[in-house]
Structure 1
Amino acid sequence: MTAPGVLPAQDIRRLIETGAIGLSAPLAEGQVQPASLDLRLGPVAYRVRASFLAGEGRSVAERIADFRMHAIDLSQGAVLEKGCVYVVPLMERLALPPGIQAVANAKSSTGRLDLLTRTITDGGVEFDRIRGGYDGPLYAEICPRSFSVLVRPGQRLNQIRFRAGQAVLSDDALRALDASAGLVSGGPAVISEGLGFSVDLKPSGDDLVGYRAKPHSGVVDLDGIAAHDPAEFWEEIRSSAGRIILDPGAFYILVSREAVHIPPDYAAEMAPYLAMVGEFRVHYAGFFDPGFGHDDAGGAGSRGVLEVRCHEAPFVLEHGQIVGRLVYERMSARPDALYGQGIASNYQGQGLKLSKHFRM
């Protein structure tokens, strides 16, 4: 019997061995993370007229037939264009036991490119949420919002996490964990339906507070690690006043004031704070694996990178304003390896940082 909580890497491997997670290609190195599994793009993408959910009793394949414009062969690489919607069958499929449910999310590098990537399933009525007992294929819906991207089969834009029973910590449990483990540095722990975090607009020794995506840039090759000149894609945002004005429709990379850490027996997910705090949204792309920012895993607290998009009106963002929260969850067991501990980790100990595709 699996203990309640988020399943660790060793249990994910067991799901693969038993066929609960099916693979159309051999498991790739590093694909299993401490508390999640990276999902890989298949060899074809479908350009569709609009985003959709399959809905009860319907398959994604049926909906693709309804909205398909054309198919794109990804085998030699293909460009997914900014502002268009694509659906890509993934190399993984599920045959989950009834007691195991799943949630998917974009990977950190995907979010930092403003690449809207969501997982859809047959019969699905929500993005990224997969019911217990689901038996069927997985698809990625991809909408590049700031940059066109060059993609190939096998690339990993999103990831999936598996849960047994109730995993989310109550505020009281989170306060107790903070008291024993010290979840933040650089500010007090603000706990309300998760751990709140604020934006840093007064960095020490510098006035660089973030980056804004340029509106007419080239193509980002998703296999091009540290291969792109950031000046061709990003405008530096500087401020000495501790505030910036967000432009409607613009996409920003900012950083949290607090450094956070995730103890080894826990995981976390970034979530929005409150819709009423302003006309903007902090993109909640990431899963935070056990060991993120944790001393034993080579980190001393890591600040959260914030992917921010302003909506209908210009908005003044002030230093220290709370903009998001981390929802902590129990692991069902401690992973056999932690984030940053014998695992390639691009963002352990991070501060303000663009995605790994840009030279820094």
Structure 2
Amino acid sequence: MAMTGVLPSQALRQMIEAGEIRAEEPLTTAQIQPASIDLRLGRIAYRVRASFLAGKGRTVAERLSEFEMHRVDLDEGAVLEKGCVYVVPLMESLDLPAEVQAVANAKSSTGRLDLLTRTITDEGVEFDRIPAGYSGPLYAEICPRSFSVLVRPGQTLNQIRFRAGQAILDDDELTRLHEQTTLVSGPAHIDAGLGFSVDLEPASGSLVGFRAKPHTGVIDLSLIDHYDPTEFWEEVRSTEGRIILDPGAFYILVSRESVHIPPDYAAEMAPYLAMVGEFRVHYAGFFDPGFGHSEAGGTGSRGVLEVRCHEAPFVLEHGQIVGRLVYERMSARPEEVYGAGIASNYQGQGLKLSKHFKPFQPG
């Protein structure tokens, strides 16, 4: 494979045909995104005592024998309980070429439900990072943090992206790309990626975000545009351009900047320096080629921020930089880009909950 960069949809189809990406059941067209593949849950969930990595020389199956508490049959649908840790074998497995590595991440809708989902592999020493040449099964570790969820086989909570060679743009390259095609509205803060900040001064009204309620019902992941958001979320409002994050609470906020991903590039959201505050932003981090880009029907899309505060209450202020986008070259432009002729739930988004909720109607 001579190409360098993140592999586009047409290359992913070739990998499927070559048996480098395998599945218990044939992959569907809907799974193949412009620069990634959605991974499907298998039929059994293992409730485990603790999160784990397989480690060198060990398989996930071996570690499950150490940590398994009981098994949950997903065939008829089953509830994964808030605060518990589960490991689910995925339908897909890999037999990667020696020059191709992979990275996985939670899907946008997964992250917006505070559903911590990470990919683990045999002999893995990192979550979501799959070394070049890996051959073996894939597993999803799932820990519902705010809401219990009802899941079924075949549902997709995480996705995987493949790359060959060095694909990440350094700061000089990123600066030149921003000069050629505006990547972000407002000033470009470029330092190990493109920085973005939080919007706590909305153009109208005082609604700046949502906070997950602590005691709610179950969310059935198969139901779209179904739930009343007020049953699961509290409004977060501010007239001062700041809010105080409570330890352990989960928030949905939005970036001040609108983001553009040109069709020949992809991006991944990465945490900002820990020294800016004791909180984590964004569990779901892939931005497909064409996200928010004019060629794909977008006029800039703001990034939704999934925020969890850690040890102490923290004052978050309007315009504070909270994360960064790391841009990567595509090895070729995808045949279809985000928002152009494919189902793209979040093109042109602002402050938005996951697709499972009805549109929020301010009181």
* TM-score bracket for this pair, using the shorter chain length: over 0.9
Q: Which residue of 2 aligns with 1:152?
A: 152
Matched, 1:138 2:135: no
C-alpha contact (below 8 Å) 1:2/1:332 kept by paired residues: no
Letter in 1 for 2:295: D
Aligned-partner Cα distance in 2 for 1:107–1:189: 26
C-alpha contact (below 8 Å) 1:272/1:284 kept by paired residues: no
Q: Which residue of 2 aligns with 1:184?
A: 184
Q: Which residue of 2 aligns with 1:324?
A: 323
Q: What SS does the aligned partner of 1:218 have?
A: coil
User: 5 Å matches for 1:189-268?
Assistant: 189-268=188-267
Q: Which residue of 2 aligns with 1:90?
A: 90
1:206: how far off?
1.4
1:279: how far off?
1.4
**Deviation string for 1:250-292 (max 9, x for gaps)?**
0000000000100010000000011000111102412000000
C-alpha contact (below 8 Å) 2:116/2:283 kept by paired residues: no
C-alpha contact (below 8 Å) 1:8/1:35 kept by paired residues: yes
Q: Which residue of 1 aligns with 2:284?
A: 285
Letter in 1 for 2:332: A
Q: Which residue of 2 aligns with 1:297?
A: 296
Letter in 1 for 2:188: A
Letter in 2 for 1:278: G
Q: Which residue of 1 aligns with 2:128?
A: 128
C-alpha contact (below 8 Å) 1:271/1:284 kept by paired residues: no
Q: What SS does the aligned partner of 2:63 have?
A: helix
Letter in 1 for 2:158: N
Q: Which residue of 2 aligns with 1:170?
A: 170
Q: Which residue of 1 aligns with 2:333?
A: 334
Q: What SS does the aligned partner of 1:66 have?
A: helix
Letter in 1 for 2:309: C
1:213: how far off?
0.2
Identical aligned residues as a percent: 77
C-alpha contact (below 8 Å) 2:345/2:355 kept by paired residues: yes
C-alpha contact (below 8 Å) 2:247/2:311 kept by paired residues: yes
How many pairs does the alignment contain? Answer: 359
Q: Which residue of 2 aligns with 1:112?
A: 112
Gaps of 5+ in 1: none
C-alpha contact (below 8 Å) 1:199/1:321 kept by paired residues: yes
**Deviation string for 1:88-113 (max 9, x for gaps)?**
00000000000000000000000000
Aligned-partner Cα distance in 2 for 1:2–1:137: 26
1:129: how far off?
0.4
- RMSD (Å), alpha carbons: 0.6
Aligned-partner Cα distance in 2 for 1:287–1:19: 25
1:2: how far off?
2.8
Aligned-partner Cα distance in 1 for 2:9–2:263: 12
Aligned-partner Cα distance in 1 for 2:2–2:288: 19
Q: Which residue of 2 aligns with 1:352?
A: 351
Which of 275-284 and 261-270 deviates more? Answer: 275-284
Aligned-partner Cα distance in 1 for 2:258–2:47: 40
Gaps of 5+ in 2: none
Q: What SS does the aligned partner of 2:178 have?
A: helix
Matched, 1:72 2:90: no
